[in-house]
Structure 1
Amino acid sequence: MAKLPKAGAAFALIIAGGATASGAFAAEADPGDYVAAPPGTDLGLLYYQHSSADTYRDEHGNKVAGHSRFRSDIGIFRYVHFAELWGYTIDPQVVVPFGRIDDARLAGASIRGNSGVGDPQITATLWLVNDPAQKRWFGISPFVVVPLGTYDKHEVFNLGENRWKGILQAGYVQGLGEHFSWDWIGDVTWYGRNNEGGDGSQTLKQQQSYQMINWLSYHIDGRSRVSAGYSTVHGGKQELDGVDTGSRTRVDQWRALYATQVGAASQFQVALAKDLNVRGGFERDYQLNFRIAHSF
């Protein structure tokens, strides 16, 4: 790998800390994800995401000099089972990301591509409110992210993070009249230590990060909907061997989505997103997501 050009101490430490492509999926949520299905329902979901970025911004939001780019193709397999526990609906599930990163550059320096499996995620939602008659649902989802994904301490980008993560997410869905609904999802993430960060022998620590997602959906009929969304992520401070890297990652993103039923038991979904107001990371020019869900 070519030597990175000098871009300031904070930027150099951010690069030394490494980066991941699949971590952003850990607590993502689409409209309708917090609508409970009947107990006994099983869901199999397959996601595909293509991301493209040509700008890297420092922790102040300034564009870093030199040509930067990032391309990723990430897939996710997700299995969900709905059940009843003490009168409440729950949905234990497992999420496994996989994919590749290629055509990457940072401040003019080329970075070798990377492919493999991301860190598996185990979670379950507990619905405290499940009221279809009033079109109202509220659930809480604890996540455990297990550090089993592909990780090479000598690489800048990895599919795995080599650290445990815990996420607590809550989601609320409210129907608005005959055709509209609103989804609000918020979460907080706690990070374990990566003892192979930086040069491969340094300890990377990170404070909590927070995310909020809003979706407003128009239900065209009983089979299809269009949605507009906005998300914001505020990342926690990172330290490498006790030295503040200067990273305070923030990403604001707008989203548009279309979903429709395909047959009696399947749904197809496509979404387009663009990053806004990025600090401490790549600014995606666009992000294209596809999802196929099948119930059985």
Structure 2
Amino acid sequence: MHNKLSKNILNILLLSAGVGGLLTGFASATEGGGGAYPNGAEGIMAGALPPPGFYYVNYATHYNADGAQLPVDLKLDVSANVSRFVYMTEHKLFGADYGTYMVVPLLHVSAMLDTHSPAGTISSTESGLGDIAFSPLVLAWHSKNWHVATGLEFVVPTGDYDKHNLANLGRNYWTIEPVFAATYITDYGLELSGKFMYDFNTENSDTDYKSGQEFHVDYAVAYHTGPWTLGVGGYVYKQTTSDSGAGVTDPDGNKGQVLAIGPSVKYDLAGLSIEAKYQEEIWVENRPEGNKLWLKMSLPL
């Protein structure tokens, strides 16, 4: 029973790319149910990259969820501390500032499954390095009211992975992710921001399973007043193509979706930026349903 359940769940938790996909699912919604990107990581000023220089961004986050939208009694707890290193050069390309970045996640992942059978409760906990992400190309344009950025991100399977584990630190496949982000700020301080991403996943060589393509957006609506920014934000996630491989039984390819929303507050002082936010997941399909807490700090080096 233990091996059968482990095979069916097949990565209930897989985190990566700087806070990881922050959760996964049950026989669904890409392998393990999560994506390579940590949905909700960005929001306020998502399209505004910094001027030339070297910058450090730290994300501390906690996610907890249950299997309310799954046919299992599942509890998930994920904590992550993620370092993003950003370098913006003084060079121009197509009239934009040119830069690059790398994201290094450290994760603590716990999963507990009540089998409602003689096997009882199965649990798993893992800690360590997740899947590293990097972008060799980031372009940023700026004007009085607009900030726009685009890039191409690669997620590398550096985190530990075992197909028999309930919890894993990595996804064991590459993800290629084009990114487009934009921020509009009115003269009166109202901000609209969005970070738009589309994921192409390679096959997991250990399971011969290929996750479908994924569209997701981090968003924020906020108001700037002095050093403070107050707003509402979250993320939208929708799997757009079907999974393929062993374990795909749903006619629509086990596609997942989620919408998350919650309050955000940000404070800026002399180059230092600190942001706190809470996000509650709703309209969930083929994934666990939970909430996230974030604390983000960025500063020039």
Same-fold status (TM-score > 0.5):
yes
Shift of 1:212: 2.1
> TM-score, normalising length from structure 1?
0.83
CA offsets 1:130-176 (integer angstroms, 9 cap, x no match): 21x2x102221210111111212321221111101100111111112
Tell me whether 1:247 sits opposite 2:251 in the alignment. Answer: no
Match of 1:92 in 2: 100
Which is worse superposed, 43-52 or 145-154? 145-154
Q: For residues 187 and 178 of structure 1, do their structure 2 counterparts lie closer, same or farther at Cα, with a shift above 3 Å needed?
A: same
**Residues 4, 255 of structure 1: alpha-carbon distance in 2 compared, 3 angstrom cutoff:** farther
CA positional deviation for 1:116: 1.6
Q: Are 1:196 and 2:196 matched, yes or no?
A: no
In the TM superposition, 1:9-158 aligns within 5 A as 15-16=9-10, 18-22=12-16, 23-24=20-21, 26=37, 28-39=41-52, 41-58=53-70, 64=71, 67-83=73-89, 84-86=91-93, 87-105=95-113, 109-123=121-135, 124-127=137-140, 129-131=141-143, 133=144, 135-158=145-168
Query: Which residue does 2:300 correspond to in 1?
Result: 295
The alpha-carbon distance between structure 1 residues 14 and 140, as it changes in their structure 2 partners (threshold 3 A), is farther
TM-score where L is the length of structure 2: 0.82
Paired residues, number? 272
C-alpha contact 1:56 1:106 (8 A) present in aligned 2: no
The 3 A distance-change label for structure 1 pair 178 and 114 is same
Q: Secondary structure at the match of 1:226?
A: strand
Query: What CA distance in whole angstroms lies between the structure 1 residues aligned with 2:256 and 2:8?
Result: 10
Q: How does 1:196-275 map to 2 (within 5 A)?
A: 196-197=206-207, 203-221=208-226, 223-235=227-239, 236-241=241-246, 243-244=248-249, 246-261=253-268, 263-275=269-281
Whichever residue aligns with residue 139 of structure 2, its letter is L
- TM superposition shift of 1:277: 1.1
Give 1:200's aligned residue: none
Which residue, 195, 198, 207 being the options, matches 1:185? Answer: 195
Flag the 1:154–1:103 CA change in 2: closer, same or farther, 3 A. Answer: closer
1:150 is paired with a residue whose SS is coil
Gaps of at least 5 residues in structure 1 are 6-11, 59-63, 198-202
Superimposed CA distance per residue, residues 218-252 of structure 1 (whole angstroms, 9 cap, x where no aligned partner)? 1121x210121142101242223384465211111
Following superposition, the deviation at residue 17 of structure 1 comes to 5.7
Change (3 A) 1:277 1:14: farther
Give the deviation of 1:88 after TM superposition. Answer: 2.0
- Per-residue deviation at 1:76? 0.7
For the residue of structure 1 that corresponds to 2:9, the secondary structure is helix
Aligned to 1:162: 172
Residue of structure 1 in register with 2:32 after alignment: none
After superposition, what is the alpha-carbon deviation per residue over 1:90-134, rounded to whole angstroms, capped at 9, x for unaligned? 22000011111125226554221112211111114212x321x2x
Name the % identity: 18
Once the two structures are TM-superposed, the CA of residue 3 in structure 1 deviates from its matched residue by: 6.0
1:283 aligns with 2:294: no
Residue 141 to residue 14, structure 1, CA distance change in 2 (3 Å)? farther
Gaps of 5+ in 2: 22-35
Counterparts of 1:165 and 1:294, CA distance in 2: 28
Q: 1:184 to 1:106 in 2, by over 3 A?
A: farther
Structure 1 residues 55-112: Cα deviation after superposition (integer angstroms, max 9, x where no partner) = 3424xxxxx35x3211111111100011123442022000011111125226554221
Amino acid at match of 1:75: N
Change (3 A) 1:37 1:243: closer
Residue number in structure 1 paired with 2:29: none
Classify the secondary structure of the residue corresponding to 1:32. coil
